Amino acid sequence: MEKETTIAVDLGNTLVKIAYFINSELGRVEKWSWSEFIQNEELINKLKNFQGICSSVLSEDQNMQLQDLLPKLVFMNENTKLPFKVDYKTPQTLGKDRLCNAVAGFYGAKNQNVLIIDVGTCIKYDFLSMDGTYHGGAISPGIHLRYKSLNDYTAKLPLIDNTDEVQLIGKSTIEAIHSGVMNGMKAEIIQIIEQYQCKYESLTIFVTGGDAIYFDLHSKNNIFANKNLTLEGLFQIYLFNVQ
């Protein structure tokens, strides 16, 4: 049986992520900076052979540049069909990554209520009801935004990096910042999960995003961690639109 490769390309603010789906199964994922990606002629020549889809938050000039290089790619836009109803007051402002996560959750949960939590630059919460309706959710600052805001809006608090070694009681200013940011985020996420669980039965929860590793959420019941959820949702959108 001949192998068919389809690509899903996620053009983010910091990374270009490329997922290779071989006979509709996720194979590998590559990550590049935009400058590394666009200058890699060998990679571009390889990708020209593949059909696929692209989701982008980059500039129109960058998108046009990629379209010229990879003409077989379909770009996700406001006309792209989705497998569920969107009940959102401002759908034109809805991030493509949130929609991709929602699609992955929609297919992964199999007619259940679904909460998707994406822990990255921001923490994004997205909810779909079991009748196949996307309702929206919430957005709050992620780890680095919280650290940066403490440094930006105070005179003496230092700018520090995240850590997985966090105490409840900080014995220094740096330890206190770590405790406030990391324990505060964990408390926020757990409390929001509990609110959804109280309101909706048969709730399946998916957790994704680069900073989700700091919170050990997947050890709880009905919570599934998937670092490639956005790319898998993007691929499902491609299948839904070409079939």
Nearest CA-CA partner of 162 in 127, 186, 135: 186
Residue 50: how many other CB atoms lie within 10 Å: 17
Active site residues: 97
Collapsing DSSP to helix, strand or coil, 132 comes out as coil
Instruction: Please report how many Cα atoms fall inside a 13 Å half-sphere around the Cα of residue 169, on the Cβ side.
Output: 1
| Token pair belonging to 219 | 């050890």
The DSSP bridge partners found for residue 141 are 122
Strands 5-11, 122-129: parallel, antiparallel or unpaired by DSSP?
Answer: unpaired
How many whole angstroms separate alpha carbon 219 and alpha carbon 205?
Answer: 12
